[in-house]
Amino acid sequence: MSGVTSDGMVFFAVSAAAALTVWTLRWTTPIAATIGGALVFIPSAALSLLGLHGAGLRAVYGGAALAGIAFGAVSQGALRMMLASLDERDRAATLAAYYVLSYLSMSLPAIAAGAATEHFGLRTAAHAYAMAATLLAVAGVAALTRSRRKALHTTDDRLRQAPLNTAEHR
């Protein structure tokens, strides 16, 4: 790769895409943003691997932009889902814990991937990292979809069991 990528432009692409995504999805439901972001991660990983295998800088930047979109959507959706259920006085501590866990969840795998690169080479480490992250994205989508369906069924059951107020329907 050229010096352009080593100068931080890939990281700029990730950050800019994430910021634009957060702003664009500000009115989207949190669960839709989170599921959409997790789904966008899959082609992001594929493009990034294509860039590693010689597809060029377009693949690298495309993967970076999609990674930023995924990151922005998932981060915004998760934060909004989590904070909506909290009392105002609990939000600051929860937000602090969220950020600590977020940074750990991003930095520890990156450190492990760096160590794996030393032992197994860049391609093997990149493939393992991309596959693990993709599996986590798919698992997240499955869990969110399942909880969403369960919530919809619970609401439907409550509506069916609720007595009809005949005065309102006359």
For residue range 113-141, what is the model confidence (pLDDT) as tens digits? 999 999 999 999 999 999 999 999 999 99
Q: What single-letter amino acid sits at 28?
A: T
Domain ranges of the chain: 3-161
State how far the Cα of 46 lies from the Cα of 62, in Å rounded to an integer: 10
**What value does the mean pLDDT take over residues 84-112?**
91
Long-range pairs for 122-131: beta carbons < 8 A, 24 or more residues apart: 122/52, 123/52, 123/53, 126/48, 126/49, 126/52, 127/49, 130/45, 130/46, 130/48, 130/49, 131/45
Q: Residue 170: what pLDDT?
A: 46
- Mean pLDDT, all residues of the chain: 88
- Residue 164 DSSP SS3: coil
Assign 85 a pLDDT band (cuts: 50, 70, 90).
Answer: confident
Q: What are phi and psi of 148, to 5 degrees?
A: -65, -45
**What value does the mean pLDDT take over residues 48-63?**
93
> Does residue 24 have a pLDDT over 90?
yes
User: pTM higher than 0.75 for the full model?
Assistant: yes
Q: What single-letter amino acid sits at 16?
A: A
